[in-house]
A and B are shown apart, each in its own frame.
Chain A
Amino acid sequence: MGDGMMNDRPLTGEENAMLDADLALLSQSDPAPEISGALMARILGDAADAAPRPGAAAPSSARRPASPKPGFWSSLGGFWQPVSAGFAAAALGVWIGWADPAGVTAYANPFETATFASDIAIDDLDEYASLLDMEL
């Protein structure tokens, strides 16, 4: 395609008409092939292979839900997981000790009462034991 002059200017009406005629000639003298039975069989075979299998989840054209974002713990690296867990536990202990939260107090009360009662009972047992020693 060495005609640089022609490449730089638009085609004239006559040249356009000739080119259209040439392209039409190509279409007529060498038409695009029709689908052969073999090609159709190949394409439908592919379709059968690609079709959803029985029992598989029904495909849907709806947008698939986005995968959930990774949680806080999983977003931390291997080293930082136990370190962060330690910091969290320490912070919780400080908060419980400083704020004396109602929930913790309510939970601890029965144990505290039981511990106090058992202390008294053990003291009483000691006294009974000393009485027994005296009688013996």
Chain B
Amino acid sequence: MSFDAATGEADDVLLQRFADGDQSAARALALRLTPRVLAVAYRMLGDRAEAEDVAQEAMMRLWKIAPDWREGEAQVTTWLHRVSSNLCIDRLRRRKRDGPPLEDVAEPSDPAPSPAAVMMATDRAAAVRQALDALPDRQKQAVTLRHFEDLGNPEIAGIMEISVEAVESLLSRGRRALATALRSREDI
């Protein structure tokens, strides 16, 4: 389902309009921001239903904070990424505490019949997904924001509330761990 999110107004202006009672601003914000929140949540959780719940919860918190939003203090996207990432980490920790999920790694969304090459690619993607899921939460968060959201290290630092150097360290360790996991899979 596609939505037209085109509007020239800045996020914080739309948020202010929503706080002033303009529901069309809420729609514009939801169309613009939800896909990004949903994508990050899906990459971190690997589960569509859970990712949708996180996206809804993060947007709900945005609506609630709208009347108190202070223009120029933070970027709405940074704030929203922070909230959604933290919600994902909460869920990942809960999973670890409560035990592994019943189903294993999520299957790719397009499992159409395919030739051997496509099968191999699908297998490889599943292996990457598995390796990503095995990363420690903070490394996974940094890798997701960097490689799937194409965010820069300073922006990731703002979202994770750590220094740019700490982001670089998390990314470096995360990438090394991913490469190690994928290589060990090849060796089997």
Pairwise interchain contact B177-A11, C-beta atoms closer than 8 A: no
CB < 8 Å A-B pair total? 153
Q: What interface size band does chain B fall in?
A: 35 or more
Contacts of A22 in B (CB 8 A): 124, 127-128, 178, 182
Question: CB of A7 within 8 A of chain B?
Answer: yes
Q: Which B residues from 63 to 118 make CB contacts under 8 A with A?
A: 63-64, 66-71, 106, 108-110
Stretch of A34-42, A68-76, A121-129 lying at the B interface: A34-42
Say which residue of A19, A30, A43 sits within 8 Å of B34 (CB atoms). Answer: A43
Contacts of B26 in A (CB 8 A): 44, 47-48, 51
Main SS of the interface on chain A?
Answer: helix
Q: Write the nearest CB–CB distance from A18 to chain B, whole angstroms.
A: 7
Pairwise interchain contact A51-B148, C-beta atoms closer than 8 A: no
Pairwise interchain contact A31-B63, C-beta atoms closer than 8 A: no
Say which residue of A27, A46, A48, A60 sits within 8 Å of B67 (CB atoms). Answer: A60
> Which residues of chain B have a CB within 8 Å of any CB of chain A?
1-3, 16, 18-21, 23, 26-27, 30-31, 34-35, 38-39, 42-43, 48, 51-52, 55-56, 59-60, 63-64, 66-71, 106, 108-110, 121-122, 124-125, 127-129, 132, 134, 143, 147-148, 172-173, 175-184
Besides the known contacts A11-B176, A36-B1, A40-B30, 17 further A-B residue pairs in the complex with CB atoms under 8 A apart:
A7-B176, A7-B180, A23-B128, A23-B147, A23-B148, A30-B129, A34-B2, A39-B52, A40-B1, A40-B31, A47-B23, A47-B27, A48-B23, A50-B60, A50-B64, A58-B20, A59-B19
